[in-house]
């Protein structure tokens, strides 16, 4: 039987740090249990009492003798209203609207709606049995994630690794492994959102940011023990998995997105490492990848992809026909094999000390599952990258560099033909943005076989799995039906679609603009619908207009 923690996890928030409890940290008199209720539980009653007292004093103050007392009560009331708004703002997780315009009712509504959305009433386990208690839901979730995070024990790294050139220079390695400093730790902390959901220790980044003058030395020393002295990080590398529904009314675990909630201390360490790593990645990662790299934008991929798709959509003549394949990677981050990450970093030329630090961060993690506010189980994974870990995006594009190198090598040896949209333009064989992959080649059985061979090698080495049911193929207009059928037989059950999206935007905009943009129009309409007129203040409505526009 799966057991959960006996009580909801302790948490701090920005509101508590402005209270008497927040100040009491200086004398170390604070206690974990019951803090949230003691600080916030009576705010609505206090507001009501202050308003009643203020109203009574107004009625009595016929000669102005109570002016000072009225001003003091007004200030106290405003402070309580500010505290209430901050409290509900944090729980609403609304990022586009900040506190300060008295939108407490709106924040309260969003927090309630958010709680309802994320409450799991029941799911089917892997055998199709309906689970409707926290314990049985947790049991199904634990088994599901144990399967996802268990390594497939790949043994054919060399097929992929052999295509990757060494690009990390001695100068890069020197910058990566030099001694870490307190300034780097503080910079990493400042880059963190102050009130994101906390990890198992219940502490949000705002606590450390506000009291850095007190806790800074201890936090830095703990980070240096890991970064400079290579002490084990396992004790603080515990992570809660929050389940975010991908669709309304999900009924199985595959319809939830796992978001990792790690301790702030771990995230500081990971952020320090990722800050160093991202400084050298633009010189290591090929130009076919645009995600998470400085001076490379998502619009770069969108514009190039749009031009190529426009070329395919207008290619009506010629013996050679071409195609674009949009891949859907199933559980892309969760399936990454740790051994593959290590092998890629070694081949690229990273220093063994740097590789050791990275591998220590990702291999010492343990997971517990959050079900309706209670934690269950303890999973020790053998593969996977955490969604929410500062290191994960950069490690994922390092893995994707293996696939990119395979395509570049096949293009150089002319086993695959990229698409050149005009005379003198470069051939483009693929565009990657994290796990969004768009491939281009000649629509022929020969190149299609090579394409599937490359993808199979990458899947076997990296742990990635292509979901062919959700992948799309787009053919140039001069492609015969016979060729299309031949290609689709080789690729598997992919859809031949001219209306698939790439990075959230339509690949082709034809004559019917209404058909293409109707979804965008509906989204904006839903956002503005009703204006939340009974909840948003005038200031909030102004912010909403700017956020949507």
- Residue 528, pLDDT score: 61
Q: What is the DSSP string of 472-522?
A: EEEE-TT--HHHHHHHHHHH-S-EE-SS-EETTEES---S-HHHHHHHHHH
- Residue 35, pLDDT score: 40
Confidence class of residue 60 from pLDDT cuts 50, 70 and 90?
Answer: confident
Q: How many CB atoms lie within 10 A of CB 164?
A: 21
DSSP 8-class letter at 150: S
pLDDT digits (tens, 9 = 90+) for 135-157: 999 999 999 999 999 999 887 78
Pairing verdict, β 366-371 and 238-245: parallel
- Residue 499, pLDDT score: 62
Q: Cα separation of 451 and 484, whole Å?
A: 15
The percentage of residues in the chain with a pLDDT greater than 70, rounded to a whole number, is 77
Confidence class of residue 39 from pLDDT cuts 50, 70 and 90?
Answer: very low
pLDDT digits (tens, 9 = 90+) for 166-206: 999 999 999 999 999 999 999 999 999 888 888 998 888 98
Cα-based angle 462, 464, 465 (whole degrees, multiple of 5): 145
Q: What is the mean pLDDT of residues 383-388?
A: 93
Lowest mean pLDDT among 17-31, 448-462, 469-483: 17-31
Helix, strand, coil percent values for the chain (each to nearest 5): 50, 10, 35
DSSP 8-class letter at 427: P
pLDDT digits (tens, 9 = 90+) for 216-236: 999 999 999 999 988 999 999
Contact of 505 with 302, CB cutoff 8 Å: yes
Q: What is the DSSP string of 452-485?
A: HHHHHHHHHHH---B-GGG-EEEE-TT--HHHHH
Q: How many CB atoms lie within 10 A of CB 155?
A: 9
Q: What is the mean pLDDT of residues 310-321?
A: 88
- Look at residue 485 and tell me whether its pLDDT is greater than 80: yes
Pick the residue with more confidence: 529 or 51?
A: 51
- Residue 110, pLDDT score: 57
Confidence class of residue 34 from pLDDT cuts 50, 70 and 90?
Answer: very low
Confidence class of residue 386 from pLDDT cuts 50, 70 and 90?
Answer: very high
b/e sequence 359-371, b meaning 16+ C-beta within 10 Å: ebbbbbbebbbbb
φ, ψ for residue 369 (rounded to 5)? -100, 130
- Residue 9, pLDDT score: 52
Reduce the DSSP state of residue 111 to 3 states and report it. Answer: helix
CA distances to 17, 166, 289, 348, 398 from 283, rounded to whole Å, are: 42, 11, 12, 11, 12
Confidence class of residue 6 from pLDDT cuts 50, 70 and 90?
Answer: very low
Query: CB neighbours of 226 closer than 8 A, spacing ≥ 6?
Result: 232, 233, 269, 357, 360
Q: What is the mean pLDDT of residues 116-127?
A: 84
* Rounded CA Rg of the chain: 27
The domain limits of the chain are 16-118, 514-548
Q: Cα separation of 395 and 343, whole Å?
A: 12
Q: Cα separation of 390 and 392, whole Å?
A: 6
DSSP 8-class letter at 25: G
- Residue 42, pLDDT score: 66
- Residue 25, pLDDT score: 47
Q: Cα separation of 79 and 90, whole Å?
A: 17
On average, the pLDDT of the chain sits at 82
- Look at residue 32 and tell me whether its pLDDT is greater than 60: no
- Rounded to whole angstroms, the maximal C-alpha distance in the chain is 97
How many helices (H) and strands (E) are present in the chain, helices listed first? 20, 13
The tokens of 84 are what?
């209430």
Lowest mean pLDDT among 322-326, 335-339, 395-399, 513-517: 513-517
Closest CA to 215 of 230, 229, 201, 235: 201
């Amino acid at each position: 039987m799966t057991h959960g923690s006996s009580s909801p996890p302790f948490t701090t928030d920005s509101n508590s740090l402005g209270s008497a409890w927040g100040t009491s940290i200086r004398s170390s008199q604070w206690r974990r249990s019951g803090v949230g209720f003691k600080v916030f539980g009576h705010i609505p009653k206090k507001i009501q009492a202050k308003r009643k007292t203020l109203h009574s004093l107004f009625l009595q103050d016929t000669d102005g003798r109570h002016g000072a007392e009225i001003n003091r009560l007004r200030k106290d009331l405003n402070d309580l209203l500010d505290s209430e708004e901050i409290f509900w703002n944090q729980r609403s997780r609304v990022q586009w609207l900040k506190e300060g315009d008295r939108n407490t009712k709106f924040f309260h509504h969003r927090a309630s709606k958010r709680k309802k959305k994320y409450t799991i009433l029941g799911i089917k386990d892997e055998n199709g049995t309906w689970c409707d208690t926290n314990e049985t839901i947790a049991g199904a979730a634990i088994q599901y994630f144990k399967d996802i995070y268990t390594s497939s024990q790949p043994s054919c790294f060399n097929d992929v690794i052999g295509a990757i050139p060494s690009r990390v220079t001695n100068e890069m390695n020197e910058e990566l492994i030099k001694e870490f400093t307190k300034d780097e730790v503080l910079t990493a902390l400042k880059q963190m959102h102050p009130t994101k959901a906390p990890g198992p220790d219940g502490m949000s980044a705002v606590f450390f940011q506000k009291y850095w003058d007190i806790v800074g030395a201890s936090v830095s020393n703990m980070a240096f023990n890991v970064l400079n002295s290579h002490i084990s990080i396992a004790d603080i590398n515990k992570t809660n998995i929050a389940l975010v529904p991908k669709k309304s009314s999900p009924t199985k675990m595959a319809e939830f997105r796992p978001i990792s909630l790690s301790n702030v201390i771990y995230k500081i360490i990971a952020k320090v490492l990722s800050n160093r790593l991202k400084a050298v990645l633009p010189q290591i990662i090929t130009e076919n990848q645009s995600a998470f790299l400085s001076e490379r934008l998502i619009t770069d991929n969108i514009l190039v992809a749009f031009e190529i798709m426009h070329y395919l959509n207008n290619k009506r003549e010629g013996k050679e026909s071409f195609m674009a394949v949009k891949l859907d990677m199933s559980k892309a981050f969760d399936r990454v094999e740790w051994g593959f990450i290590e092998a890629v970093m070694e081949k690229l030329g990273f220093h063994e000390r740097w590789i050791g630090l990275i591998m220590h961060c990702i291999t010492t993690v343990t997971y517990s599952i959050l079900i309706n506010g209670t934690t269950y189980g303890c999973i020790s994974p053998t593969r996977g990258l955490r969604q929410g870990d500062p290191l994960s995006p950069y490690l994922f594009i390092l893995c994707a560099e293996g696939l990119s190198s395979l395509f570049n090598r096949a293009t150089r040896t002319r086993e695959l033909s990229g698409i050149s949209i005009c005379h003198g333009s470069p051939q483009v064989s693929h565009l990657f943005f994290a796990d969004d992959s768009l491939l281009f080649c000649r629509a022929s059985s020969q190149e299609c076989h090579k394409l599937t061979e490359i993808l199979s090698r990458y899947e076997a080495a990296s742990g990635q799995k292509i979901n062919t049911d959700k992948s799309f193929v787009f053919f140039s207009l001069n492609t015969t039906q016979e060729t299309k059928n031949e290609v689709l037989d080789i690729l598997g059950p992919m859809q031949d679609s001219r209306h698939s999206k790439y990075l959230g935007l339509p690949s082709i905009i034809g004559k019917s603009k209404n058909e293409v943009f109707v979804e965008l129009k509906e989204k904006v309409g839903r956002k503005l619908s009703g204006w939340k007129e009974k909840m948003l203040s005038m200031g909030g409505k102004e912010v909403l207009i700017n956020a949507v526009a």
